[in-house]
Amino acid sequence: MTAKILDGKAIAQQIEVEIHERAAAFEARTGRRPGLAAVLVGDDPASQVYVRNKERACARVGIQSHMHRLPDDTTAAELMALIAQLNADPAVSGILVQLPLPAGIDPTPILDAIDPAKDVDCFHPQNVGLVSQGRPRFLPCTPHGVLQILHRSGISAAGKHAVIIGRSEIVGKPMALMLMQKDSTCGSSAANATVTVCHSRTADMPAICRTADILIAAIGKPKFVTADMVKPGAAVIDVGINRTDDGLCGDVDFESVKEVASAITPVPGGVGPLTVVMLMENTLRAAEWQAAQ
Ligand SMILES: Nc1nc(=O)c2c([nH]1)NC[C@@H]1CN(c3ccc(C(=O)N[C@@H](CCC(=O)O)C(=O)O)cc3)C=[N+]21
Ligand SMILES: [Mg+2]
């Protein structure tokens, strides 16, 4: 079997059209553009790429981007002062502090200081709590993007065994919560999975992965998932983006796994573009709520 390649870029473009229409309607109704403030501290090359992609997406969908590029030696106090200013600015609907922050700054108090109504990354404990209770205000961008890829590719999760490799607060953990819930923004077929989470201390991970109908790799190890870990016919979603000497690659060994899976996302052009577009959706959602207050 050769897998169907799930074209994340094309799916993201479809969703962008929908968001562009909603953003235009918002602007027509309120006379204001939704605004996204992105804070980038230091000069991490991957972060530069991601933030530039987010800025470009804002321009395409009709969101005003407010970029704050700060030097590597910015202090936590300076960053806190900027967050306070952005929290108070009515032109700023959503705030994103690009991670990782430079080694000297603890991200937790910074992220906790973002107004939960502007927390478009969905990292604030209040928003994480709402997701975990199945009544989300925002959805975390990458897991939401994965649900959109599955849903818009006609892959149902309901009743299936979804195995997630990785337990990060940003991807693995919220992905598990969202897949096991009764419903999702994409309907009940993009939820209701039986979920297993594997991590670095999991015993016999390959055997567990081989029972997955949907296998989601989010560990940050290049080509970690090999063909022997995949059940024939499984759908494989690769959340990893690793920069190696031979260029970008995911957490999945694409060339071998595509011969076993029924569907697979590429890297680049898979989950990454969805992460960006779901951030646009959250920013628009934030603007709509703030306008209704
Ligand atoms: N506060 C915060 N929020 C984030 O959402 C966040 C973050 N920090 N830190 C890093 C990760 C990673 N991330 C990506 C964004 C865009 C692409 C993306 O555009 N990918 C394209 C291009 C990849 C490339 O050229 O490098 C693709 O996969 O096709 C990927 C990954 C957001 N993250
Ligand atoms: Mg990573």
* 3-state per-residue secondary structure call for 237-293: EECCCEEECCEEECCECHHHHCCCCCEECCCCCCHHHHHHHHHHHHHHHHHHHHHHC
What is the enclosing helix (H) or strand (E) of 96?
Answer: strand 94-97
Residue 213 is predicted with a pLDDT of 98
Provide the ipTM: 0.95
Question: Region 124-145: what's the mean pLDDT?
Answer: 98
Half-sphere exposure of 266 (CA within 13 A, CB side): 12
Our CA dihedral for 148, 189, 181, 210, rounded to 10 degrees, sits at -80
Residue 172 is predicted with a pLDDT of 98
Q: Out of 54, 160, 173, 223, which one is annotated catalytic? A: 54
Q: What percent of the chain has pLDDT over 90?
A: 99
Q: How confident is the model at residue 39 (pLDDT cuts 50, 70, 90)?
A: very high
pLDDT tens string 146-179: 999 999 999 999 999 999 999 999 999 999 999 9
Residue 110 is predicted with a pLDDT of 98
Question: Region 34-62: what's the mean pLDDT?
Answer: 97
Q: Which DSSP string do the residues of 136-199 spell out, in sequence order?
A: -SS--HHHHHHHHHHHHTT---TT-EEEEE---TTTHHHHHHHHHSS--TT-GGGS--EEEEE-
Q: How confident is the model at residue 116 (pLDDT cuts 50, 70, 90)?
A: very high
| 181 neighbors 195 (Cβ within 8 angstroms) | no
98 has catalytic annotation: yes
Q: Which two tokens stand for residue 178?
A: 């969202």
Q: Out of 64, 119, 121, 213, which one is annotated catalytic? A: 121
Q: Which two tokens stand for residue 214?
A: 């949907």
Question: Region 195-207: what's the mean pLDDT?
Answer: 98
Question: Which domains can be identified in the chain, with CATH numbers?
Answer: 31-115 (3.40.50.10860), 140-273 (3.40.50.720)
Overall pTM surpassing 0.95 (yes/no): yes
How far is the centre of ligand 1, averaged over its atoms, from the C-alpha of 47 (Å)? Answer: 7
Pocket test of ligand 1: the residue of 79, 275, 280, 282 to mutate, having most ligand atoms within 8 Å of its CB, is 275
| 97 neighbors 114 (Cβ within 8 angstroms) | yes
pLDDT at 111 over 90: yes
pLDDT tens string 204-232: 999 999 999 999 999 999 999 999 999 99
Rounded to whole angstroms, how far apart are CA atoms 286 and 282? Answer: 6
Rounded to whole angstroms, how far apart are CA atoms 68 and 284? Answer: 20
Q: How confident is the model at residue 1 (pLDDT cuts 50, 70, 90)?
A: confident
Question: Region 272-283: what's the mean pLDDT?
Answer: 98
Q: Which residue's CA is the closest to the ligand 1 atom numbered 30?
A: 272
Q: Which residue's CA is the closest to the ligand 1 atom numbered 18?
A: 272
Which distant-in-sequence residues (6+ apart) come within 8 Å of 180 by Cβ? 191, 192, 193, 194, 195
CB of 275 closer than 6 angstroms to any ligand 1 atom: yes
